[in-house]
């Protein structure tokens, strides 16, 4: 199938032939890189999460959806439904760009409850009076049949003084009986900010002010804002987009004064120190825990792969906690129900590279426990073959864990990184690794640090190997195959 033209990117799925839709679904089903336990639409590209909530016994997870893959094209809202946040079905609700103010795209937003009913505050892309694309802030009421009834006019239209028309990705929360909405924004000086609005009801949003942080010149626009409290701390989360095109998805940890919206905080910290993780959002699960999901996408174009191969997905759900003043992220515990065919290996590794037999796979969870360590460096290779290997290195002296994707498989064109490192606060005790058809997510020391990346190895790259630089290490490997979370149908 040929890449979609700009004209095709703006066509609507409602006007697309059944044959074309079938062809697009077939391209995804035949791809080696379609994910099995990450949320991904049946065709087209997932965009940033734009509404996640637990409501009346069900989880509703939604994201921007670009059916014809181009993120410069038309976008819809795509939603999944789950009773356990593990096994998913599509509930049939797709928010369509079919009004005056969103007919060029459904963008970021937030689902919330008002008077016991679901509402969706979101950014729609429409035409201004000058016939230019303009972001409008729109409201939809979600009825009991999960159909969206849109309010006919924007609830926030023009940006405040000194800000460009770039308001986007509203995030709604309730505090002290008041509703607040945070918007990603850009000043006239091309600096990123988060703007605060408040309301007694979701039709009447009033501008308050920007949140004052210590980041006065950090990124030229901030997107996907989010706010929540955890263990007495306020956490402000956003994705900073920089002028050269790079993005950083992270958070500020501290205390936000709701009288003047000044935030005292520490350094901006990345949520994921790998590649291609962006636009995370949080919600509260049925037990009251904070759960985070973000977008995982490949960096740039890869000449050998098609659009279906490269289609973005959502990350695994991650449970958040604060421990000793630090944010920890752990894989959502209920994902353990996907496990089957447990295999365990226990023994010493040394400087001679050792293939673990019969342990291999394309989609699996691997827990590696470091029981005794006298090695200078430890090497773990996953999805290995004659030509491919995704390498994880641990340096005992520096406590650096490094993910090296330079030989993982097909690589993007251009100047994109393939190696990243994190430094642990204490010696490495455990790695918990999730490998899907085209991704890897690594949780170090029970969630102290996280690194993720999309990877595109060859079909025969299924091996697992280990070695050291010098000295030996006593290791326990526990590997699980993981079932698919669902079979998507549109």
- For the chain, helix, strand, coil in percent to 5 are 5, 50, 40
Last residue of a domain, one of 282, 300, 333: 333
Predicted pLDDT of residue 112 = 96
Residue 310 gets which letter from DSSP? H
What is the reported pLDDT for 234?
98
CATH of the domain at 372: 2.60.120.560
Both 298 and 364 in one domain: the answer is no
* Predicted confidence pLDDT, tens digits, the chain (490 residues): 333 345 666 789 889 999 999 999 999 999 999 999 999 999 999 999 999 999 999 999 999 999 999 888 899 999 999 999 999 987 666 789 999 999 999 999 999 999 999 999 999 999 988 889 999 999 999 887 778 899 999 999 889 999 999 999 999 999 988 999 999 999 999 999 999 999 999 999 999 999 999 998 999 999 999 999 999 999 999 999 998 888 999 999 999 999 999 999 999 999 999 999 999 999 999 999 999 999 999 988 888 899 999 999 999 999 999 999 999 999 999 999 999 999 999 999 999 888 877 789 999 999 999 999 999 999 999 999 999 999 999 999 999 999 999 999 999 887 788 999 999 999 999 999 999 999 999 999 999 999 999 999 999 999 999 999 999 999 999 999 999 997 544 3
Q: Are residues 76 and 212 in the same domain?
A: yes
- Residues 241 and 298 reside in one and the same domain: yes
Same domain for 258 and 354: no
pLDDT at 91: 60
Domain extent for 449 = 339-482
Q: Are residues 192 and 231 in the same domain?
A: yes
Residues 297 and 367 in one domain: no
Enter the tokens of residue 109: 């937003």
When divided into structural domains, the chain yields a total of 2
Is residue 1 situated within a structural domain? no
Q: Sign (positive/negative) of CA torsion 292, 442, 274, 254?
A: positive
Asked if residue 355 is part of any domain, the answer here is: yes
Domain end position, chosen among 289, 318, 333: 333
Is the domain of 321 the same as that of 392? Answer: no
pTM of the model: 0.95
Q: From CA 448, how far away is CA 431, in angstroms rounded?
A: 10
Cis peptide before 358 (omega within 30 of 0): yes
DSSP code of residue 353: -
The count of other CB atoms within 10 Å of the CB of residue 301 is 12
What pLDDT score does 490 carry?
A: 39
Domain boundary among 305, 333, 361: 333
């Amino acid at each position: 199938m040929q890449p979609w033209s700009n004209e095709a990117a703006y066509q609507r799925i409602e006007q697309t032939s059944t044959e074309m839709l079938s062809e697009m679904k077939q391209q995804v089903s035949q791809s080696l890189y379609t994910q099995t336990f990450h949320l991904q639409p049946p065709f087209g590209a997932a965009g940033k999460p734009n509404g996640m909530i637990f409501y009346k016994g069900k989880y509703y997870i939604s994201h921007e959806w670009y059916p014809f893959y181009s993120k410069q094209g038309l976008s819809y809202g795509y939603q999944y439904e789950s009773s356990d946040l593990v096994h998913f079905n599509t509930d049939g609700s797709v928010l369509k760009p079919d009004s005056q103010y969103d007919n060029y795209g459904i963008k970021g937003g937030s689902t919330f409850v008002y008077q016991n009913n679901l509402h969706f505050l979101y950014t729609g892309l429409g035409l201004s009076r000058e016939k230019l694309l303009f972001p409008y802030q729109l409201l939809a009421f979600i009825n009991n049949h999960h159909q969206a009834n849109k309010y006919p006019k924007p609830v926030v239209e023009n940006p405040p003084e000194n800000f460009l028309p770039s308001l986007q990705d509203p995030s709604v929360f309730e505090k002290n009986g008041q509703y607040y909405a945070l918007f990603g924004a850009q000043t006239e000086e091309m600096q990123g900010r988060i703007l605060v609005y408040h309301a007694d009801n979701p039709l009447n949003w009033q501008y308050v002010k920007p949140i004052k942080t210590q980041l006065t010149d950090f990124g030229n626009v901030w997107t996907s804002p989010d706010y929540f409290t955890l263990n007495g701390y306020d956490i402000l989360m956003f994705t900073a987009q920089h002028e050269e095109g790079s993005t950083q998805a992270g958070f500020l940890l501290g205390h936000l004064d709701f009288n003047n919206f000044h935030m005292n905080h520490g350094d901006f910290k990345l949520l994921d120190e790998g590649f291609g993780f962006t636009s995370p959002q949080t919600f509260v699960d049925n037990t009251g825990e904070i759960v985070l999901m973000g977008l995982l996408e490949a960096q740039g174009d890869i000449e050998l792969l098609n659009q279906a191969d490269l289609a973005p997905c959502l990350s695994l759900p991650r449970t958040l906690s604060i421990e000793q003043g630090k944010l920890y992220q752990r894989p959502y515990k209920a994902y353990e129900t996907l496990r089957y065919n447990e295999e365990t290996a226990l023994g010493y590794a040394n400087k001679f590279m050792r293939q673990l037999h019969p342990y291999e796979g394309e989609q699996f969870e691997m827990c590696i426990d470091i029981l005794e360590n006298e090695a200078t460096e430890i090497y773990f290779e996953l999805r290995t073959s004659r030509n491919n290997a995704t390498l994880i290195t641990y340096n005992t002296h520096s406590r650096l864990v490094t993910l090296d994707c330079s030989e993982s498989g097909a690589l993007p064109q251009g100047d994109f990184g393939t190696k990243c490192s994190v430094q642990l606060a204490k010696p490495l005790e455990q790695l918990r690794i999730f490998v899907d058809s085209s991704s890897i997510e690594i949780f170090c020391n029970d969630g102290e640090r996280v690194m993720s990346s999309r990877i595109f190895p060859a079909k025969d790259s299924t091996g697992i190997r280990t070695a050291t630089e010098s000295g030996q290490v006593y290791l326990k490997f526990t590997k699980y195959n993981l079932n698919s979370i669902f079979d998507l149908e549109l």
